[in-house]
Amino acid sequence: MSSTIAASSSTNTIITNSHNNVPSTTNTFMEGDTNGVEKPEGSNAAAANMNGEKPKKLGGYDFYRSIGSPRYVVAPMVDQSELAWRLLSRSPLPPSLAGPSSTIATLQGKTYIRHPGGADICYTPMIHAKVFMDAKGEGGRNGDGQFNLTFDEEGGEGMVGGVECGDRPLIVQFCANDPDILLAAAKKIEHRCDAVDINFGCPQGIAKRGHYGSFLQDEWDLIHKLISTLHQNLSVPVTAKFRIFPDLAKTIAYAQMMEAAGAQILTCHGRTREMKGQLTGLADWEMIREVKKAVKVPVFANGNLLYREDVDRCLEVTGCDGVMTAEGNLSNPAIFLPADHPHSHPPLTLLASRYLDIVESLKTATAGSAIKAHLFRLLKPVLDTDEELRIKIAACTWSDGLGGFRDIIRDIEGRVEAARKEAGPEWRPPPIDPTTGYRALPIFAAQPQIRPIPVSTEIGGHEDMVTRPASPTSASGLSNPIAPASSIPGTILASRQARHSMIHAPPCIHEDCLAVAASRCPTRACIVHCRAIRAVESGLTEVEAEAEAQKGGLVGMGCEAHEEKMKARKDRMDRKRKNKQEARERAKSKKVEGRAVVRTSGRDSPRSDMDEETFVAAVAGGTATMA
């Protein structure tokens, strides 16, 4: 059962339910909030289509409507918004659970299928323009793995990966600092997407070293050139994603400059370049709202989305045309399901299994690192209860197929069965706690990962920087297997409203050290100076102790809290190294076995038509059989 929605320039839309064919009138959700800005109708493009002429490149709201006026947007995420994940995000639930889909018809004659809880539009992972241009094609070092040009699945229409709607609408994102290289890369994929986006928001160290992302934000002439080069030379529109400045006037001028350069959609991430990792705070929706008011092109808001209620509230507060989510989507790809949908916050094992089904159905390879990262994220509530489960996922190899991953999911289903029975078949997510802004969810349900407020910069690693709110007990008073609250040393969990005003820990006691003091260290020092101070107490000179500590020595001489943490970190790294070594040995063993089979085949029976190298690769991948 599906609905058909015709895109129109009027304020109303006719929705026809195909089940009963009874039309009803409702306010359209596709127009967005114009804030009084007049929008062109796009009739010229429609007329060109009808006459068989090449349609004129659309811009602004004409372009926005031509792709179905998307409101729910999946962000570009490195190694995370790959094809399989985009398809899951577009259709997170099996049709039997999701309910009826809708078909969006545009004035340009395009139709898009929308699935309940699914994203309206997705971005690819950020693609490094120069690396993409240097790729050697399928099978090369980078292949065309950043965007597969060998098959017709990425940017494909129709049925892709078992999902009806394919990989459209799609925006491909690049990072670059050279307009010519950027244009050459964009030209390679313009026929496979609806627009090309330029990343001006990445705040990570790799972007600083590569001189792209948010580290271009002070070079407005270069940014203008990058945007205008694509705007003037591509057959599809160019869009831009950026972070705000602390100053509102500068942020508005920045957005207007991008609009003037030719950006047809702007995505405003309401955090500054410095707000990342341990210093991530609340995104500023008020500033996003002012950006929206100041420009005439569609604007997507980005930041602070943990639940569907946040999505709705963000649209209301900012007045933006769409809402983009990254971390919220990674933890719950069904985040766009309405809060009153019977399968809101679906079982995490259901989402994980559906993702693997999509991965398995595609010709386009999904990187093993992406599969593992998604499972770590989706299944984290359960993985937190048993570190060995995480180690098992890390040890799985794509060359062995997906059987190992599926075995782990079945194991997890068994572990959460008691919780699901206790919750009962009529379980529905509880309301968000108005005091904290969080929702306590059972361990089996898909749920956001909530970044705690750090009081120590020594909490290392992505996995160590996420937790959830405290869990309630059942009505009977018995312990309910709700996703456990974290007790990560050096962090506290504050309400969402208070996060931006938290005072961080003081710096290390050593006057020349830029690190922050660890919360449980009695000397209020970082790990290096904690060890150095105790080494001096044991008889070393300050110079000797400092030199030894700085090069990683004096292990075991720090306070108990520091040494426990460092030992746990070392144990994790040792396990990772062991898993990688075992995976390499298994792959080597398969390769040797494959060669042995080929040699035996050569003596005892005629060789097949495939060459030895291909045959060995097939055997190693478990896909070849002997005649």
Q: Report, as residue numbers or ranges, the catalytic residues.
A: 202
Contact (Cβ atoms closer than 8 angstroms) between residue 12 and residue 24: no
> DSSP code of 452?
P
Contact (Cβ atoms closer than 8 angstroms) between residue 147 and residue 170: no
Q: Whose CA is closest to 419, among 343, 349, 340, 352?
A: 349
Burial of 400 (0-12, 13-18, 19+ CB in 10 A): middle
User: Cβ contacts of residue 209 below 8 Å, gap of 6+?
Assistant: none
> DSSP code of 78?
T
How far from the centroid of its chain's Cα atoms is residue 188's Cα?
Answer: 24
Contact (Cβ atoms closer than 8 angstroms) between residue 249 and residue 199: no
Contact (Cβ atoms closer than 8 angstroms) between residue 21 and residue 2: no
23-to-6, 8, 17, 26, 114 alpha-carbon distances in Å: 12, 16, 7, 10, 18
Strand partners, 106: none
347 cis-preceded (ω within 30 degrees of 0): no
User: 């699935």: which residue's tokens?
Assistant: 115
User: Cβ contacts of residue 309 below 8 Å, gap of 6+?
Assistant: 339, 432
Distance CA 398, CA 622 (A): 11
Distance CA 165, CA 151 (A): 17
Distance CA 311, CA 324 (A): 9
Residue 170 dihedral angles phi and psi, to the nearest 5°: -140, 135
Tokens of 203: 């705040």
Residue 492 dihedral angles phi and psi, to the nearest 5°: -135, 150
How far from the centroid of its chain's Cα atoms is residue 608's Cα?
Answer: 44
Contact (Cβ atoms closer than 8 angstroms) between residue 150 and residue 156: no
Distance CA 598, CA 305 (A): 54
Burial of 6 (0-12, 13-18, 19+ CB in 10 A): middle
Strand partners, 243: 269
Task: Tell me if residue 17 falls in helix, strand or coil.
Answer: strand
How many beta carbons lie within 10 A of that of residue 583, not counting itself?
Answer: 18
Could you tell me where the DSSP H helices lie in 262-367?
Answer: 285-294, 308-318, 327-331, 348-361
User: Cβ contacts of residue 331 below 8 Å, gap of 6+?
Assistant: 377, 378, 380, 446, 447, 448, 449
